[in-house]
Every structure is written in structure tokens, then in C-alpha cells.
Amino acid sequence: MKFSKLSQLFLVSFLGLFVATLLTACDIVTVDFVYVASSALSGTSSNGVIDIYAVDSGSGAMRTDVASVSTGGVAPVSMAVTSDYANLYVANAGSKSIVHFTIGLDGGLTQKDSVTLSATPVAIAVNTAGTYLYVVSGTASATLTEYPLSSGTIGSAATASEPLTVPGFAGDTIIPTGITVLANNAAVYVATYDQSAYNPGGSTTSTANPGWVFGYAVGSGGAMTAAANSPYQAGVKPSALAAEPTNRYVYVTDYASSQLIGYAILDGSTLRYLTSGPFTTGNEPSAITIDPRGKFIYLTNQLDNTVGAFSIDLPTGTPTKIVNVIGSQLNSTDTQPVAIVVDPAIGRFVYTANHLGNSVSGFVLDPTAGSLKVSQASPYPVTGTKPTAIVAIPHGNHAIQTVD
């Protein structure tokens, strides 16, 4: 059978494209694994699901090379990983449980132990030493509970437990929203709001300030002691908080006022309001993260479907809004972003879990300016519905981004 010159040209072009595709595929290097927790498709009584994505080191594009797993409970709301990236924990609100998974070399998860709570978990965090798991729980009254960890395994009994009440307003309903632990393990902070003082669409019975951050110094054996002057006023409805990696500043998003509030850390645990703030965000900021180098803040604006970016002035802690020089100024996500993470391996990629979009949006981070641009093939679908939590771990033989 003879080929025309046009057919030969087409064949050569096709073979060239095929070979190029193979070479490109061979160049793919997984630099991180990203885990996204969602509710299951089959109904509210079914266990949630964790999707596992591999991140391409060049583009930040994500693919699913490893099968998703059950969260081990209903309605996942929060996840945390240990600093050695060997263990992952998921809080399931519907079943009032915390489930522990070990992380394999391929990013796969294996369910291990779990603990059942008396109240609904809202958010969890693990200290850098990997010795304590912190759980903030409650839908009518807030409690901070500390569980011991032994090689990742959750202790059956709590080391410490602290009820979160506003002085002078002991009967008020305190709703927890977020938690963070200092990188040096010295303190833990919880964001809450007073529903008795702030209750849109309902009645209020209290004259207390609505928003609060509770701080606790962590001592020997995990003993928690209230930080001086804790709790600290935090706007109207704080929705999330994050501590930068040098243990000098804590930042809180105020969902109701669309603001970012900053605090300096004094004497290891005491918070002092940054007088230069608060700082304007997009509408209804819902989640916050700080890049592993401690240079940039990223937060999700839930109503706007965007990511807000700020640079941190290291001497003062003052955040300044970053304006993109190239590309979109909006950093648009899919619908209703509620969780956010920066990749820990090279600190170049940002991902959001989009609750109503049933997806993950990805961005490429400029490590010098902190500006963002949408990553290849974003957004990425999830197998469940209404994702609520996202975490990431590094993969491969490379340096992990840290503060020098």
C-alpha cells in the first residue's frame, strides 16, 4: 500500500506528537500529595471520602494516581498531618470521631486507630513535635481537648481539656471555628464567636464582644495554661486563624466584617493586637494559610469565590495586599472556597477546596512577589460532594521549604 506525500507528512507529524507526549509524560515529577476531604455521594449517612492528588513539580497540575479512601466517619470537617508527613488525621462531625491514617510512600492512606468524642468536632491541629493532637469541639459550648500521640497513634484518654468561656458571660453560647498551634509547640490558639451576642437572623441575649481568640501556653507534659489576658477580642465572627512559622504573629479572618486581624506574640503565648490593622479582605473570608517561608498570607473569600494574597512585613507583622502584575487581579476559584493550603515541598502552589463547586482550584505562586496565576487544568474535580478540608505533604528527594 502506497502513501501520498500528504499522508506521509501526516504520519510523521503524528509520530512526532506521540513521541513528544511520551517524553513529556516521562518528565512528570510528583512533588507533593494533596488530600481533600468531602462528603460521600450516596447520602449524609455515608462515610466521607478523601481524594488523593499527585502534584506535578513543573506546572502544579494535579492528577489522581492513588485511589480515594473513606474518611472512616460521616461529614468530615477538618484534617491535619504530622510534621514528619507520616500521619494524617480527619475529624468527622457527623460521627463525632477523629480517625488516624498512616501515609504510604505512594501517598496512599491506611486507616489505623480512632477516638470518639462526646461533642461534635469543628477543627483539629497537630503540634510540630508530633506529641499532641488538639481538637476544638462543640456546637453549643466550645471545648479545647488535647490528646497524646505515640508514633501517630491517638491516646484513648485526653491529656487536658479546657472549656472556652468568655469572662463575665459564662452562660453565653461560644461557637468554635478554627485552631492553630505555634511551630515551636509553645502555644495553641482557638478562634470562636459568641452566638449569644452575634446571631444573624435570630435574637441575641448578650452584650459581650462577639469575636474571640483563646490562647493557651503549653507546658511540660502537655499542661495547658491560659495565656495572659486571654481570650482576646477578634472582630465579629472570626472564621479561621494561622500562625506564621517564626512564632511571632497570628492572623485571624473575620467572616462577618470581611477583615484580616493581626496579633503579635509576646512572652511565648500572649497576643497583642497589631495597631496597624485590621486589614480589608474580600467578602466573607473563610480560611487562611501562610506559605512555609513565612512571607505570604493567602485566604479564601467565600462569597467572592477568590483568593486574597498578602505579603508580611517581617519586622512589624503588617500584611500588605498583593496586586498581580500579570494576569487576573481576582485569583478566581470555583464556587465557595472554604479551605486553602500552600504546597510544603517547593512552596510554589496554592490549592483551595471549593464547597459548592465540588472541586479544587489550583494556583502557581510567584516566590518573590507572592502573586498568583491559575495552574494548568484548574479546577480539579473531587469524587465526593461539598469538600471541606485540604492538606498537603511533600514527596520525593528534595529540600522542604522552611524559614531560615
Mean pLDDT of the chain: 91
Band (pLDDT 50/70/90 cuts) for residue 12 is very low
Q: What are the tens digits of pLDDT across the range 272-305?
A: 999 999 999 999 999 999 999 999 999 999 999 9
Looking at residue 5, what is its pLDDT?
Answer: 43
pLDDT at 11 over 80: no
CA 301-307-311 angle, 5° bins: 115
| pLDDT score of 58 | 93
User: Does residue 401 have a pLDDT over 60?
Assistant: yes
Classify residue 105 by burial, with Cβ atoms within 10 Å: 0-12, 13-18, 19+.
Answer: exposed
Distance CA 26, CA 15 (A): 17
Cis amide linkage into residue 278, ω under 30° from 0 = yes
Which residue would you say has higher pLDDT here, 199 or 324?
Answer: 199
Lowest average pLDDT, out of 16-20, 45-49, 261-265, goes to 16-20
Phi, psi of 100 (to 5 degrees): -105, 135
pLDDT at 10 over 80: no
**30-394: which CATH number, 2.40.160.20, 1.10.287.110, 2.130.10.10, 1.10.3720.10?**
2.130.10.10
Q: What pLDDT does residue 140 have? A: 86
Q: Of 221, 29, 45, which Cα lies nearest the Cα of 131?
A: 221
pLDDT digits (tens, 9 = 90+) for 194-248: 999 999 999 999 999 999 999 999 999 999 999 999 999 999 999 999 999 999 9
pLDDT tens-digit readout, 47-104: 999 999 999 999 999 999 899 999 999 999 999 999 999 999 999 999 999 999 999 9
**Per-residue pLDDT tens for 123-143?**
999 999 999 999 999 988 899
- Give me the mean pLDDT over the 340-352 stretch: 97
Q: Where are the domains of the chain?
A: 30-394
pTM confidence score: 0.91
pLDDT above 50 for 8: no
In angstroms, what CA-CA distances link 232 with 195, 263, 286?
16, 10, 19
Taken in order 328, 329, 331, 336, the sign of the CA dihedral is: negative
